[in-house]
Amino acid sequence: MSGPSHSAHLQARNLSWQAAAARIVHDVSLHVTPGELVGLLGPNGSGKSTLLRMIYRILKPASGSVQVNERNVWHTSARENARAMAVLAQENASEFELRVRDVVLMGRTPHQSPFARDGEEDFRIVAQALQRVDAQALSERMFSTLSGGEKQRVLMARALAQQAPLLILDEPTNHLDVRHQFELMNLIRSLGMTALAALHELPLAAHYCDRLYLLKDGAVVAQGTPAHVLTPEIIADVYGVRALVRTSPRSGKPLIEFLPDNLL
């Protein structure tokens, strides 16, 4: 599938957001360089989704800035931003009363002039996107009849059809069985896109991500390579769980074994 014509650089500086008197995200900065897959980790309530929503223009930051290729996302149009970044968000799994093919076609909207009809090139890109996520057989199904895992793969195809150079993913492996978790993460890696992904599964983050940012109570408490961030001490401090971490002899990546009977 022909991909985006260029890669992207994401820079978020000093982002903060609060609801009522509660500060949800406090002074968070992060960056993703072209071609990197960066993981955003943290327990439930740590601010991962709120941070991502500020980056993809759902929540306006109380302070700070977000730039893609040195352009402030809050100073450009929604259409321009849709060409720059594709988003796979948790709340996207709403019940579209559309065929799967038409859901994926929605990804082509930023590239079309108003009221333009879908063309041959759009249909070709949609077919290839469905193929990339192994969902060709779902093309004529109604989106609302799919399982959670099938919906997630279709929404990933929609993001691919958008052909943006930056991919933002909010827990993309939710609802996926183990095989499809690996397939989706392998796909994200194979695209060579700049990608920022909030992930729950620490072993997936350890294996697939180039760098990690770990949030606790809305602030970054660790950042760096998976080997630097995912230590037993940091995991215990942030997640309250004991873990053994060793280096895989096969991949050289951290292998994490949780000790569920020995909680802190």
SS (H, E, C) 45-102: CCCHHHHHHHHCCCCCCCEEEEEECCEEHHHCCHHHHHHHEEEECHHHCCCCCCEHHH
pTM of the predicted structure, to 2 decimals? 0.90
The answer to whether residue 3 scores a pLDDT higher than 70 is no
The CATH class of 10-258 is alpha beta
pLDDT digits (tens, 9 = 90+) for 94-106: 567 899 999 999 9
Mean pLDDT throughout 127-155?
Answer: 91
Query: Could you tell me the CA-to-CA distances from 212 to 13, 175, 196, 235 in Å, in that order?
Result: 16, 22, 9, 13
pLDDT digits (tens, 9 = 90+) for 6-63: 579 999 999 999 988 788 999 999 999 999 999 999 999 999 999 999 999 999 999 9
Nearest to 168 by CA among 193, 189, 196: 196
- When pLDDT is cut at 50, 70 and 90, the band that residue 116 belongs to is low
pLDDT digits (tens, 9 = 90+) for 217-239: 999 999 999 999 999 999 999 99
Mean pLDDT throughout 237-244?
Answer: 96
The CA distance from 176 to 167, in Å, is: 19
Domain ranges of the chain: 10-258
**Whole-number pLDDT of residue 136:** 94
SS3 105: helix
The CA distance from 209 to 196, in Å, is: 9
Mean pLDDT throughout 202-231?
Answer: 97
